[in-house]
Amino acid sequence: MQYCPKCNVNIEENFKFCPNCGNVLSEQRIDEQEEVGKEELICGYCGEENDLRSKSCSSCGANLDTAKTEIRQVSKPNSGANIAFEKKAVAKKNEKNKKTTKNKKQKIEQQTKNIGKAENREFDSKKIAVIFSGVLVLALLVLYFSGVLNNNVTKPETEENIENTNQQQGSGIDLTSLNRINQIDAQLKAEPNNFDLLLQLAHLKNDSGFKEEAITLYTKYLEKFPDNADVLVDRGVCYYELQQYDEAISSMEKAIKINSSHQIANMNLGIVNFAKGNTEKSKEWLQKAVKIDPTSEIGKKAKELLTSH
C-alpha cells in the first residue's frame, strides 16, 4: 500500500493515478523512493528536519551541535508515524512560540508598570515641591507681618544710632500702618499735587520698611522742594538701610550744604562712612556733630560713637 501525497488516501502500489483526486503517482513515487532512507538531523527544540551538514536549525536557529538532536531516516511520506511525528514537532514549536510571546508580553507589561511608577514618582515630587513652596511663602509672610523680618539689611554696630528727622518712625509694619498707607495713597490719587500727603506717605513707607518706595516719594517731593534738608536726610537713611552707602552720603551731604548745622545729618554721615569703611572720615563727621551741640541727645550719641570706635 502507498499514500497519495496530495489527499493522503491509501492506494495500491501499482496505481499510477490516485483514484480519489487523480494525482499522478509515478513521478512522485520516484522522488519518495529517493527520499526514503535518507538521514535527517532533527532539532531538539522545534523538531525541524535539517541536513546532516547543518550547524544551525533552519527553523529556530538553535545550535545543532549543542541542542538535543536526533538522527532519523525519512519514512514513507504521510505515513502514520511520520504524520504523528510532524504533529508532535509542530505542537512543540507552537508551544515554544506561545512561551516566547507570553514572555515578551510580560516584559512589555513590566516596562509599562515601571514607566507608570516613574511618572507617579515624578508627579509626587513636583506635588511635594509645590506644597513646600506654598508653605514656605506663607511662613515668610507671617514672619514679615509679625515684624520678625521687617529689617533684613545687615548693618554695622551703629545702626541703632542712625536717625530719621521724621519723628513718626515706628518699630515695623502693622495693620494700622498699612491701613493708613492705603488711606493716604487713595487721597493722593485724588489730590496728586498735595505734597503734604506725599510727604506723609513717604514717611509711612519709610517707617514700615518699604525703603525703595519711600525713596521714590522723597525724590518726587524734593523735585518740588529741593532745599528741604530734613527730607534729604530721611532719603539718605533709606539708602543706608538698603546698603547703598554712596547714595546715602550724597543725599546727606546735600543736606549739609543747605544747613551745615544740621546735627542729625552730621552724625548720620559719620555712621554711613564708618559702615563704608571710611574710619577717618567717619570721625570727622562725628566730631562735627558733637561740636554743634554736645549736650543734645544727638551730640551725646555722636560722642559715644567716637569713644567706642
pLDDT in tens, 130-168: 565 655 545 444 444 333 333 333 344 444 567 777 655
**Residue 85: predicted pLDDT:** 43
Q: How confident is the model at residue 20 (pLDDT cuts 50, 70, 90)?
A: confident
Percentage of the residues of the chain whose pLDDT score is greater than 70: 61
Contacts of 61 (CB under 8 A, 6+ apart): none
Q: Which residue has the higher pLDDT, 117 or 13?
A: 13
Q: What is the mean pLDDT of residues 112-121?
A: 59
23: pLDDT strictly greater than 80: no
**Residue 151: predicted pLDDT:** 36
Helices (H), the chain: 26-35, 80-145, 175-190, 195-207, 211-224, 229-241, 245-258, 263-276, 279-292, 297-308
Q: Where are the domains of the chain?
A: 2-85, 86-149, 157-308
Whether this model's pTM surpasses 0.75: no
What is 157-308's CATH number, 1.20.1290.10, 3.10.129.10, 1.25.40.10, 1.10.3210.10? 1.25.40.10
